[in-house]
């Protein structure tokens, strides 16, 4: 799914928008539709695991709190 980056000409806010349907995109900050489309650097490379937040090897929050409370004793 293509993601495009836009810059608002009115408030210079930069944001990304999924363009799934041909709808008019407006700035989420100031609601202006005076936008400039930026070249998207977004890649759909599925090998990029840097955004894998569900990594089971990382301690979950409860475990983290337990370790931390043990340290403070």
Task: Give the footprint of Zn ion on this chain (CB under 5 A).
Answer: 8, 10-11, 13, 27, 29-30, 32
Cα separation, 35 vs 8, in Å, equals 5
Positive or negative: CA dihedral 2, 49, 63, 70: negative
Write down the least CB distance from residue 4 to Zn ion, Å.
Answer: 16
Cβ nearer to Zn ion, comparing 10 with 40: 10
Distances 20 to 14, 28, 55 between C-alpha atoms, Å: 19, 17, 29
Write down the least CB distance from residue 38 to Zn ion, Å.
Answer: 14
Cβ nearer to Zn ion, comparing 34 with 63: 34
């Amino acid at each position: 799914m293509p993601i495009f980056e836009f810059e608002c000409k009115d408030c210079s806010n930069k944001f990304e928008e999924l363009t799934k349907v041909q709808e008019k995109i407006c700035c989420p900050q100031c609601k202006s539709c005076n936008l400039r489309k930026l070249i998207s650097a977004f890649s759909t490379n599925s090998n990029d695991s840097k955004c894998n937040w569900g990594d089971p090897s990382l301690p979950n929050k409860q475990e983290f709190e337990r370790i931390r409370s043990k340290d403070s004793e």
